[in-house]
Amino acid sequence: MNLKNRSLITLRDFSREEILHILKTAADIKTRFKAGEVYHPLKGKMLAMIFQKPSLRTRVSFETGMYQLGGAAMYLGPSDIGLGKRESTEDIARVLSRQVDLIMARVFSHEIVEELALYSSIPVINGLSDFCHPCQALADLQTILERGKKPEGCKLAFIGDGNNVANSLVFGGLKLGMHVAVASPAGHQLRDDVRRWAQQDGGRSGGKLTLHLSPAEAAEKADVLYTDVWTSMGQEQEALSRKKDFAPYQINAALLKRAKPDAIVLHCLPAHYGEEITYEVGHGPQSAIFDEAENRLHAQKALMALVAGED
């Protein structure tokens, strides 16, 4: 399967077979790395990392991943580029296409990463936008598979804001035949276009989406419990009202008991313990949070190797 020169803007644009191919490659790369094997498909390649939002996992995993694959990464912060202010997004895409081999962008508006991909002649990877976080979803799916969960029929309960992480889990999960149950308070549910996609296209691989107001209902007999922070970057002014709205939407010991006995707990991090998840559950025996964080490295290495690596 050839993914050379493909951009990853959202998992909605990839087929079930393509997503599974990325995940299989990620598992293989991880195994080879743990065995100490040197694997340099990106030798001499350069990744430009555009950051409008700060990050721990995104920057470290992409920069380390390029190094481990034989390439290098360049950090471009807000003051280095000034997307759409000092220079147009189109011109930035065209210039970088002449000088580097890959672009990763972590931005506020999804339209920016779409525009970068439109005008770029090299692969563009969405490192996070307000609509999607596809690299996180790949790491999540890799972790679920590692824990012995078969995607077909696997129930993933997302408890919290119908945000970019939830959107990506819907796209990736339904493509693999999963049941994604999303529990969110009124006013914070999934976007209408994501719901419509799930209804019209999401079931083609046997997956389904269910929406709930009750966290307990969503978590019932779940194989995976997943949550994210209640207030994301850019929503700080809403923090107090969000704490009130989301107070019942916490993954804790009581909610975990409603899931299957062998259920795993995921969180894309950073975690605010005592809010969306308790420390007890986040660091408990059913938590795979730190395996999930590690898999950001390997999932992204697989993606970069497939879209920009040497054959």
Is-catalytic flag, 135?
A: no
Q: Which of 6, 12, 59, 106 is catalytic?
A: 106
- Express each pLDDT in 138-148 by its tens digit: 999 999 999 99
CA 36 – CA 34 distance, rounded (Å)? 5
Q: Is 110 a catalytic residue?
A: no
Omega into 123 within 30° of 0, i.e. cis? no
pLDDT tens column, 166-207: 999 999 999 999 999 999 999 999 999 999 999 998 878 889
Choice among 52, 142, 228, 298 that is catalytic: 228
Distance CA 120, CA 92 (A): 9
Supply the pLDDT for residue 279.
Answer: 98
Domains in the chain with CATH codes: 11-133+296-308 (3.40.50.1370), 148-287 (3.40.50.1370)
* Of residues 199, 192, 187, the one with CA closest to residue 160: 187
Q: Is 101 helix (H, G, I), strand (E, B) or coil?
A: coil
Q: Give residue for tokens 């779940």.
A: 222
* Cα separation, 187 vs 70, whole angstroms: 46
Q: Has 154 been annotated as catalytic?
A: no
pTM: 0.97
pLDDT exceeds cutoff 70 at 311:
no
Q: Is 268 in the active site?
A: yes
How far apart are the C-alpha atoms of 165 and 132, rounded to whole Å? 6
Under the banding of pLDDT at 50, 70 and 90, the label for residue 233 is: low
Residue of 12, 133, 179, 298 with catalytic role: 133
